[in-house]
Amino acid sequence: MTNINTAGTFKLGDRTVKRLGYGAMQLAGPGVFGPPKDRNAAVAVLREAVASGVDHIDTSDFYGPHVTNQIIREALHPYPDDLVIVTKISARRGARGSWIPAMSPKELTQAVHDNLRNLGLERLEVVNLRSMLGVHGPVEGSLEPQLTVLAELQRQGLVRHIGLSNVTSTQITEGRRICEIVCVQNMYNLAHRDDDALVDELAAAGIAYVPFFPLGGFTPLQSTILSDVAGQLGATPMQVALAWLLQRAPNILLIPGTSSVGHLRENLAAADLKLSGETVAMLNQIAADPVHA
């Protein structure tokens, strides 16, 4: 059985978590909307993750909506003392599953209460404010009004720590003047490396960087180089992609998602995979020329 402790740990707020966690997005139905086809299977994945040593689960009440958090509560409540559940706010879902900004003070406050209710918690350990100024990637613009609301909810004791998601370096700097920022969650993987400098800046500041879509997202990473390296190592391409992220910087916390126990075990096994300097150099070519890699 894989020992995910080999991947190491990093601070998330005032808690220390293992660097291999779990992202719950895929526990909802197709398009992260509606219920899963097999709720029992979703419960089983969560219980397997915790049994395997995972102590960091990423979720949101707009997954489903509400569905994913309700499944987490069914599977794991009362929660283990060492389990850190991280959620995010600032969006809502349309009738057909569209993603709609929900960044007013009323909407943000309601989102925190929705997460508390559906997770069965009195306080949320970490809440990420996801910028919806740009749905498909970071867009510059002040997040001070939204962070001020979240900081007030923190003072009320409903939120313990605050993070940011889908943001720029400028927005992080602004955010750190308003409240402590314990993590940043942006898109980052072997082929999408816009945040290279930011990862290193946050590492120097002791702030966790949590890449979403570490395996490419709804369109999995496809690369001849990645497949060749995986074949040479006797691993899957996804295991290699996760191992590369673990070696990229010590502050990277991984939250690969899956609705399959088998895929969960494969993802966690990336903790045992060590890449040589030569292999890392080969993989770095993917971002340099993703079309031909």
Here the tokens at position 93 are 């879902």
Task: Identify whether the C-beta of residue 76 lies closer than 8 Å to the C-beta of residue 42.
Answer: no
Here the tokens at position 137 are 């990637």
Strands 99-101 and 91-93, bridge-based pairing: antiparallel
Looking at 63, 79, 188, 209, which residue is catalytic?
A: 63
Q: Which phi and psi angles does 11 have, rounded to 5°?
A: -75, 135
3-state secondary structure the chain: CCCHHHHCEEEECCEEEECECEECHHHCCHHHECCCCCHHHHHHHHHHHHHCCCCEEECCCCCECCHHHHHHHHHHCCCCCCCEEEEEECEEECCCCCEEECCCHHHHHHHHHHHHHHHCCCCEEEEEEECCCCCCCCCCCCCHHHHHHHHHHHHCCCEEEEEEECCCHHHHHHHHHHCCEEEEECECCCCCCCCHHHHHHHHHHCCEECCECCCCCCCCCCCHHHHHHHHHHCCCHHHHHHHHHHHHCCCECECCECCCHHHHHHHHHHHHCCCCHHHHHHHHHHHHCCCCC
To the query of whether residue 188 is one of the catalytic residues in this protein, the response is: no
Q: Which residue has the tokens 């740009």?
A: 134
- Calpha distance 36→242 (Å, rounded): 25
The catalytic site residues sit at 63
